[in-house]
Structure 1
Amino acid sequence: MTSPATPPRSLAELRRLTPARVALGRAGASLPTEALLDFTLAHARARDAVHAGFDAAAIAGELQAIGLPALQVASRAADRRDYLARPDLGRQLDPTSRDSLAGVLQGGDVALVVGDGLSPVAVAAQAAGVVRQLLPRLAAARISIGAAVVATGARVALGDEIGAALGARMVLVLIGERPGLSAPASLGAYLTFGPRAGLTDADRNCVSNIHDAGISADEAAHKIAWLVREGLVREATGVILKDESGSPIPELPSP
């Protein structure tokens, strides 16, 4: 006896499960007006997120309130136009910032860098909350944050130069991710063991999509703390460190 066929799901059900733009309908050869206006608004929000101002002093103040005094540095990108046109400049400290980090004692396991990236609004909305959730998890594992740095005009790899200048064992970069049409304010966390110039993304681990409709600050802090702890123990990050923060703890074999 054959079982009855599962009834097909409707497109309306699919739309409730995803923010992706599916089954928008059509008006003649084009989109319906409501769908077109919604797309235009989302695109404008994404552009605004890229070009938003970055209040480094305010971010430093939030870190100070959490208990992390922060230095402020800048990349070689002179302004936002430079930053977008020359990604390489966002990966290098300007000479004044490089000098300001010289001689700063790390005194901890991890250097924290908070950078504007491609969505300064994500940093303003999410970074302090993630750090607030992260600190007690690191403290429980006896892992300390030595120096905290707020970086303007930052790309992810700027953390490599900052971490190397501070002599950090590991650098954690919290940075605004490229805005999408459904997530203009998404934060990313990048971890690199043994930071130094010339590393690539293959040498890092990333916790992505930290925003109100994505990974929460609490969940992100859990994943980051696990990666920091394991990265320090194994002395490695990147493709050889798999994120198993959600895996069950294996049982020890019987003696």
Structure 2
Amino acid sequence: MSRDDDSAADDPAAAWRRLAALTPARIALGRAGSGLPTREVLRFGLAHAQARDAVHTPLDAAAVRAGIAALGFDTLAAASAAPDRATYLRRPDLGRRLDEASAAALAAAAGEPVDLALVVADGLSARAVHEGAVPLLSALKPALAGSGWRLTPVVVATQGRVALGDAVGTLLKARAVAVLIGERPGLSSPDSLGIYLTFDPRPGRNDAERNCLSNVRAAGLKPDLAAFKLHWLIGQALTRRLTGVALKDESDRLLEGPEGRGMVPDRR
């Protein structure tokens, strides 16, 4: 038995504290009588309030577009058919459709067919978009520049669900669409960004026909690694003409062994 094992046996509380330091999950909270300590009750209340704020805070679309434009991307604005946040939360179906003005504007902006459309949507956490969209696109930009793919302007959409990308991709004549969207907040992750990639986007696509990269944030899947994985998936989708359950993320194989070293930036 190692010294650590000995100390854990002598002090179980210390062992729990070491485990708690490795995860944001609520473990080893302690107790006060038959309930939780006051500090843990307050921490839970704060986490719940942060999750609610993430859902209800409106997207600052102008600031997001400005940040994306500063990276050198053209942008377009769009909105779903949900006219306000309350309706958006009650009617998920409206969040999957563009409003008439946005549909007309995107159709007018469409040119020749392109390889990829990028959509940034608020989803269920505007905070995730405010904090994560620009870093992700910044990490992705060099790979896109070297790919030779034809891109649409980045569409920044309000009151959007994942499937809104299908309508955007169809109107902009894109072979594939990647939707960067705020995920439903957890009690330890109100800032989680999700990425959904769909080949041949069109209304009626289902989730089994998409690839998802989840929990993109500073405390989860780092933006540079998420960008690396997304670029690999896009390349495979365009080559193999599919996404979803038939396309497995095997990008990590490129990171194994000497030949894979340096393919993503050092994140230390």
Shorter-chain TM-score range: over 0.9
- TM alignment of 1:93-242, pairs within 5 A: 93-103=98-108, 104-105=110-111, 107-242=113-248
- 1:28 equivalent in structure 2: 33
**How does 1:43-82 map onto structure 2 within 5 Å?**
43-82=48-87
Q: Structure 1's 158 and 106: CA in aligned 2 closer, same or farther, altered over 3 A? A: farther
Unaligned runs of 5+ in 2: 9-14, 258-268
Give the count of matched residue pairs: 249
SS of the equivalent of 1:111 reads: strand
**Amino acid aligned to 2:75:** A
Contact kept? 1:133, 1:217, Cα under 8 Å: yes
Query: Does the 8 A contact of 1:111 with 1:146 survive in 2?
Result: yes
CA distance in 2, matches of 1:60, 1:7: 53
Measured on the aligned residues, the alpha-carbon RMSD in Å equals 1.9
TM-score for both structures, normalised by structure 2: 0.88
Secondary structure class of the residue paired with 2:39: helix
Q: Which moved more, 1:137-146 or 1:189-198?
A: 137-146
Q: Amino acid of the residue matched to residue 196 of structure 1?
A: R
Residue 135 of structure 1 deviates from its aligned partner by 1.4
Structure 1 residue 208 displacement after superposition = 0.8
The range that moved more, 228-237 or 23-32, is: 23-32
CA distance in 2, matches of 1:136, 1:17: 33
Partners of 1:217 and 1:6 lie apart in 2 by: 35
Residue identity opposite 1:39 in structure 2 = F
Contact 2:113 2:172 (C-alpha < 8 Å) held by counterparts? no
Question: CA–CA distance in 2 between the matches of 1:178 and 1:84?
Answer: 11
Query: How far, CA to CA, are the matches of 2:195 and 2:125 in structure 1?
Result: 13
Name the CA distance, whole Å, in 2 between partners of 1:32 and 1:149: 46
Alignment of 1:79-98 (within 5 A): 79-98=84-103
Aligned position for 2:11? none
* Identity rate, percent: 52
Deviations, residues 67-100 of structure 1 (Å, cap 9, x unaligned): 2111111001111100111111100111111111
Asked if the contact 2:114–2:173 (Cα under 8 Å) also holds between the matched residues in 1, the reply is no
Letter in 2 for 1:108: V
**Structure 1 unaligned residues grouped into runs of 5+:** none
| CA distance in 2: counterparts of 1:119 and 1:61, whole angstroms | 19
Structure with greater helix share of residues: 2
Instruction: Report if aligned partners of 1:108, 1:147 keep a CA contact under 8 Å in 2.
Output: no
- Measured in 2, the distance between the counterparts of 1:216 and 1:4 equals 34
Distance of 1:239 and 1:6 partners within structure 2: 43
CA contact (8 A) 1:106 1:147 kept: no
Superposition deviation, residue 140 in structure 1: 1.9
TM (norm. structure 1) is 0.92
State the shift of 1:62 in Å. Answer: 1.6
